[in-house]
Amino acid sequence: MTKEFAVPPVVFPSGGNPSAGSNNIQQRRVATAPFQPPRSSTSSIPFMSFDIGSAAASSSSGPLFGGPIGSGGSVPGGTSFEDEEPLLDELGIHPDQIWRKTKSILNPFRANPAVHKDSDLSGPILLYMSLCLFQLLAGKIQFGVILGWIVVSSIFLYVVFNMLAGRNGNLDLHRCTSVVGYCLLPVVILSAASLFVPQGGTFRFAVAGVFVLWATRVCTALMVALADGGDEHRGLIAYACFLIYTLFSLLVIF
């Protein structure tokens, strides 16, 4: 015996077009991403409108620029670019001050302590690089050695001076490092002259001794003049300076 099954009739919603009905069903079944808001709520999201023409006009005439680039515009702080300090001054590098201090070292009998009251490290670093460069031209790579000796020498002279001066000593480490660095100028000149002097011999040691005495005298005079409590112990301070610059001259000779 055969069984009969009741099959319901198929009704297409588009009026008899099965392809259109299938497309509508597929469109209805397309799922949206979970992080997207429903389409009905997107109309309530506020958006900011930008007017390109007005924004360009306001930026060109606003207080940020204040006009064309070449007309000396102003910065937000209220000062113009022309009033800004030079880059070297902002970094604490003053070439005219370095030149005056270096020129005062050239005369060992007339050292000017007033020039060295404002201590800085830009000049000593320049002399340090010059000494390392001349040593490199002589075939000696001593960048780390010279830098380490400058640091140790400055600390050594600072400790010795303050121990001798006692409570009256007012020498700080920054000023001591500045004076030791600037008084390195005779050793730099010795290093440059040693490139043209034959190796070995008594003449080389005699020239090195002259430059060491030059650096010792200038460094001692500046130390005693810039800090209090060193007049009574000038000889001991000179001995400490002599040891420091003798070590640097030995690097140049050997």
Q: Per residue in 101-147, pLDDT tens?
A: 999 999 888 888 989 988 899 999 999 999 999 999 999 999 999 99
Distances (CA, A) of 34 to 27, 31, 138: 17, 9, 75
Question: How much is the pLDDT for 173?
Answer: 93
Q: Per residue in 168-186, pLDDT tens?
A: 778 899 999 999 999 999 9
Residue 81's Cβ-side half-sphere holds a number of Cα atoms within 13 Å equal to 11
pTM flag (> 0.95): no
